[in-house]
């Protein structure tokens, strides 16, 4: 490898890092009241221009931006991991029922058991995400052809529709659950404080470590189960580790920002394209970190646009991401169908 070729991955990571830092600054600067970037930099360096600016930045904007970074990275990483484990480019925590399972379990815990705090219902979020992922996987394996990308996507749509209907039935009869669900339904970074971010970080960190530890095994798994087993990979352990990682990442993110869909679908494909241009190939040791870096860019960008596009009201980030992800999903399905003809 030449020196110039060796610099390409570093340049790619540096470029994504610059974009992410710029989006973080814009996320802190823009909102109901715009703050000049100079004042933002001064406040972050410990020299705020006045008390009001300091309060807005540290009490509202910084926690919101930090939540976008953490939740975005979790959803992007879980989407890349899910696509690798299932060898299905249509896989996504939102499309395969994982997010809907977490949301349903949270609403159920609020309506039936009366949990109202994050640490009360986050465990139900994990349980719902895990059970939904297992059910979708088992349904996708039914039939003579076994597990296929299209069957898995259809099973995910069916489970998501069922869970969404059950969630709606609960919230229509329980005002407290309805208040919670209205926050989750569209997906938003608003109305959260720094304590919430700190509380979910341990779960996200554990899920990220498990996911990144899977990367070498995922490269073997991409060659097929037989080849991976011949290389000494323990397939059951790999899949269990991956499911636990997806459960932790998706459950923690959904419990705070709601069932935001399509981030886990779109971002891994973007990461593959960029990795290919950088000469990295389909190496999950690069694809997983790239997905974790790119996903917060999309989530923060959608959140910024939602804040400034319809002032004084906000458009939830999940709605804007759906406008991007919906056409992307349709184009991806059409492309795969044409390739199979």
Q: What is the 3-state secondary structure (H, E, C) of the chain?
A: CCHHHHHHHHHHHHHHHHHHHHHHHHHHHCCCCCCCHHHHHHHHCCCCCCHHHHHHHHHHHHHHHHHHHHHHHHHHHHHHHHHHHHCCCCCCCCCCCHHHHHHHHHHHHHHHHCCCCHHHHHHHHHHHHHHHHHHHHHHHCCCCCCCCHHHHHHHHHHHHHHHHHHHHHHHCCCHHHHHHHHHHHHCCCCCCCHHHHHHHHHHHHHHHHHHHHCHHHHHHHCCCHHHHHHCCCCHHHHHHHHHHHHHHHHHHHHHHHCCCCCHHHHHHHHHHHHHHHCCCCCCHHHHHHHHHHHHHHHHHHHHHHHHHCCCCCCCCHHHHHHHHHHHHHHHHHHHHHHHHC
Q: What pLDDT score was predicted for residue 145?
A: 67
> What's the pLDDT score for residue 184?
61
List the chain domain ranges.
Answer: 3-340
Name the CATH superfamily housing domain 3-340. ABC transporter involved in vitamin B12 uptake, BtuC (1.10.3470.10)
pLDDT of residue 340: 46
Over the stretch 59-75, which tens digit does the pLDDT of each residue have?
Answer: 889 999 999 999 999 99
Q: What is the mean pLDDT of the chain?
A: 84
Q: What is the model's pLDDT at position 6?
A: 47
pLDDT (0 to 100) of residue 301? 94
What pLDDT score does 2 carry? Answer: 45
Specify the pLDDT at position 92. Answer: 80
Spans of the chain, pLDDT less than 70: 1-7, 116, 118, 145-150, 180, 183-186, 332-333, 335-341
């Amino acid at each position: 490898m030449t020196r110039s070729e060796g610099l390409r991955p570093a340049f790619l990571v540096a470029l994504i890092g610059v974009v992410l830092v710029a989006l973080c600054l814009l996320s802190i600067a823009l909102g109901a009241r715009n703050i000049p970037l100079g004042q933002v930099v001064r406040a972050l360096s410990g020299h705020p221009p006045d008390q009001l600016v300091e309060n807005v930045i540290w009490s509202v904007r910084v926690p919101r931006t930090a939540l976008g970074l953490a939740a975005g990275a979790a959803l992007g990483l879980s989407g890349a991991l899910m696509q690798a484990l299932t060898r299905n480019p249509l896989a996504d925590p939102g499309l395969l029922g994982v997010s809907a399972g977490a949301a349903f379990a949270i609403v159920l815990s609020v309506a039936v058991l009366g949990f109202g705090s994050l640490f009360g219902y986050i465990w139900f979020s994990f349980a719902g995400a895990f059970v939904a992922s297992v059910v979708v996987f088992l349904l996708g394996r039914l039939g003579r052809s076994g597990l296929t990308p299209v069957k898995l996507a259809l099973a995910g749509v069916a489970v998501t529709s069922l869970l969404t209907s059950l969630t709606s039935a609960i919230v229509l009869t329980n005002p407290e659950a309805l208040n919670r669900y209205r926050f989750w339904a569209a997906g938003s970074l608003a109305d959260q404080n720094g304590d919430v971010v700190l509380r979910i970080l341990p779960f996200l960190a554990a899920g990220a470590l498990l996911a990144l530890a899977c990367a070498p095994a995922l490269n073997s798994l991409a060659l097929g189960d037989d080849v991976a087993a011949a290389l000494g990979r323990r397939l059951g352990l790999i899949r269990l580790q991956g499911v636990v990682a997806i459960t932790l990442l998706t459950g923690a993110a959904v419990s705070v920002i709601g069932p935001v869909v399509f981030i886990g679908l779109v971002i891994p494909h973007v990461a593959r394209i960029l990795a290919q241009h950088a000469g990295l190939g389909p190496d999950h040791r690069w694809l997983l970190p790239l997905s974790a870096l790119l996903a917060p860019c999309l989530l923060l960008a959608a959140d910024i646009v939602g804040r400034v596009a319809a002032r004084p009201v906000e458009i939830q980030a999940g709605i804007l991401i759906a406008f991007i992800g919906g056409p992307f999903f349709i184009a991806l399905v059409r492309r795969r169908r044409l390739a199979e003809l």
